Structure 1
Amino acid sequence: MLFSLAILLFISLTVTAITDLQANCTGPDRRYNGTTCYVLYAYSATQDVSKISCNHYLGYSGHLVHIRNAVVQNVVHQVITNYVAFTIYCAWTGLELLNSSASHTDSSNWGYYHRNGTFFSQTYLPWLSGHPSTNLDYNRAMYCKNEDRLLSYQGSNLYSYVCEYEEAQKQPVSNLEQKCVNLMSGSVFTSFVNDVCYVLQSAVSKNYNDAKGSCNALSGYNGHLAHLRTVEKLWIAEALRLVAGASYVRLGIEQTDLSSTNASIGWYLTTPTNQSMPANFLPWATSNPTTNKRTIAVVAGYPKSFATVDSTTAYPFLCQYGRSTLSASTGAPGKSTFFL
């Protein structure tokens, strides 16, 4: 009798030990395998839009699928094949060419993108024969079920995509994350990363002074033009710039000394309410910085970089929203610093 009760208790605990992600990863368009949920988004989008759109499960930093081994390849094949609402042949992955001016056939030049702006190279690259293409525009990779292989293609083409949500990435879902995802629409693109919501409104362009006071899309949260302090954050901004189709995207960095004739010094991170702090991360594009252009924008090209732009021209602008603004000591003489 006691043995039977022990068996029943063990079975009960086993049945109820599934995770939240596993319990919710059900339906004809998704599959749970290992510790990951794979979700097919059956409708078409560009690869750039797909890259910021893996939001089926908040709190997991969803990203386009990383086909890192044969097991994942098989799962993706099953997810696409088993979807019967209509036929899908190919779907975008998170694999992209890092440097378009370098060799397309160099495997180290291809990497899988994470939502936080990091990439990792992958030795498992089951390309179809003849791929990756040497065509300069074929800088993204999709998986096609009939060939059971990766194909390089233009990211501007419309395809379905597969998202990946990992148990190891689970974080509590905040009100900010919910508002950030809900804000995304046809012309408003967002990305929630490490408790910060990045927002780019592709249909809105402003000069620097107007843009500086316009990061107010999320009431109750501190908004300001984006501060990019690392290359990872620069890649986050670049992902949003690409999806908006903008050549330049304004940031919250300016040369505050208008009398300066040295374009390489005196750059500060600014907000509408806090005093400025020095900007130490300045990855200049070729032929930059330029004298008498006092503000900075993300610009196209590799490596990802900054360009100086004049304050009066209207450009799209990138905002960021965080839970709080924290004051700290030390900065430019007579100025406090802040971190967000």
Structure 2
Amino acid sequence: MLFSLAILLFIFPTVAALTDLQANCTGPDRRYNGTSCYVLGEPGITHSAAKLLCNHYLGYSGHLVHIRNAAVQATARELTTTYFFANVRVYTGLEPINSSAALTDKNNWGYYYRNGTVVVPAYQQPWAAAHPSTTNRAYYTPSGDYIATQAENYAYYFLCEYEEALKQPVTDLEEKCANLTSASVFTLFVNDVCYVVQPAVTKNYNDAKVACNALSGCNGQLAHVRTMSELWIADAVRSAAGVNLMARIGIEQTNLSSTDPNN
């Protein structure tokens, strides 16, 4: 009898504990699959604005969905069909890699993370016939189970993704940044930096340098754009805020008497 009990204890299946993300990924508008939580966003908004609103779970650098394999595609189809309807259109994180290259080239499209890095998945996403076209953003629709392109200013629903691998401790700055977002203030928290655009406020450069005080207790500055990824971030928040002409950043000449414009 003791021998039989030992065998039963040995073969009894173990139950893996739920992760924080998995335990909180509940509700009719979200699904946990693989190691990601997928959350539908509404109402319909532009692609630029959608990129800023994947904040359902702080600490995970939420981004628009990456359809990187057939399992993610199946999850997107089931979730969008069940929660919305079969011919709904939801924005994905797919964007052109090189704005100077042909938008119709499938190899010129990749999935962007919140920090501006881009990956080209080995899985060939299911493009609709005659797509990608000459427009610059991509949506998924379950009715045809495909991805197609559209101009970024169209108002569609969107699908966010939160990955276990991207989990970081939630900081006070991230919470302040998320709480600052409103109809008149657009924010994006990336790599321990909170980017803020107030589209209704315009200032000359000198005044703008001392006006980055939207978050109490933080020494704000005009954005430092040092890499292509940071340029993508700055453009994402600018575009979401509807600032179409220009937005000031923190770069200026180090020597005002120099005739070298690159100094």
TM-score, with length taken from structure 1: 0.71
The corresponding residue for 2:59 is 59
Does the 8 Å CA contact 1:108/1:122 hold for their aligned counterparts? no
Does the 8 Å CA contact 2:105/2:132 hold for their aligned counterparts? no
- TM superposition outliers: structure 1 runs of 4+ over 6 Å: none
Does the 8 Å CA contact 1:91/1:143 hold for their aligned counterparts? yes
Q: Aligned residues, how many?
A: 258
> Using the alignment, how far apart are the partners of 1:75 and 1:186 within structure 2?
31
Deviation of 1:164 after TM superposition, in Å, equals 0.4
Residue identity in the other structure for 1:183: L
Choose from 139, 142, 145 the match for 1:142: 139
Equivalent positions of 1:147-226 (< 5 A) are: 147-226=144-223
> Using the alignment, how far apart are the partners of 2:221 and 2:45 within structure 1?
29
Does the 8 Å CA contact 1:110/1:122 hold for their aligned counterparts? no
The corresponding residue for 1:258 is 256
Whose strand proportion is higher, 1 or 2?
Answer: 1
Deviation of 1:259 after TM superposition, in Å, equals 2.1
Matched, 1:50 2:50: yes
Does the 8 Å CA contact 2:91/2:139 hold for their aligned counterparts? yes
Equivalent positions of 1:318-329 (< 5 A) are: none
The corresponding residue for 1:233 is 230
Deviation of 1:179 after TM superposition, in Å, equals 0.7
Equivalent positions of 1:261-340 (< 5 A) are: 261-265=259-263
SS in 1 for 2:189: strand
The corresponding residue for 2:128 is 128
Structure 2 residues without counterparts, runs of 5 or longer: none
> Using the alignment, how far apart are the partners of 1:3 and 1:227 within structure 2?
63
> Using the alignment, how far apart are the partners of 2:226 and 2:254 within structure 1?
18
Compute the RMSD of aligned alpha carbons. 2.0
> Using the alignment, how far apart are the partners of 1:242 and 1:249 within structure 2?
10
Residue identity in the other structure for 1:26: T
SS in 1 for 2:262: coil
Encode CA deviations 1:89-132: one digit per residue, 9 max, x unaligned.
Answer: 11000001233442122122111111011111234121011111
Deviation of 1:61 after TM superposition, in Å, equals 0.4
Does the 8 Å CA contact 1:42/1:88 hold for their aligned counterparts? no
Residue identity in the other structure for 2:195: Y
Structure 1 residues 257 and 82, CA gap change in structure 2 (3 angstroms): same
Does the 8 Å CA contact 1:227/1:251 hold for their aligned counterparts? yes
Q: Which moved more, 1:233-242 or 1:119-128?
A: 119-128
Deviation of 1:3 after TM superposition, in Å, equals 4.6
> Using the alignment, how far apart are the partners of 1:258 and 1:133 within structure 2?
46
Deviation of 1:7 after TM superposition, in Å, equals 7.5
SS in 2 for 1:160: strand
Whose helix proportion is higher, 1 or 2?
Answer: 2
Deviation of 1:4 after TM superposition, in Å, equals 9.3
The corresponding residue for 1:34 is 34
Residue identity in the other structure for 1:57: Y
The corresponding residue for 2:75 is 75
Does the 8 Å CA contact 1:183/1:190 hold for their aligned counterparts? yes
Residue identity in the other structure for 2:75: V
> Using the alignment, how far apart are the partners of 1:80 and 1:217 within structure 2?
37
Using CA pairs under 8 Å that are at least 6 residues apart, name the structure with larger relative contact order, 1 or 2. Answer: 2
SS in 1 for 2:153: coil
> Using the alignment, how far apart are the partners of 1:175 and 1:7 within structure 2?
46
The corresponding residue for 2:95 is 96
Encode CA deviations 1:233-257: one digit per residue, 9 max, x unaligned.
Answer: 1111111121123221111111143
TM-score, with length taken from structure 2: 0.91
SS in 2 for 1:198: strand
SS in 2 for 1:38: strand
The corresponding residue for 2:108 is 109
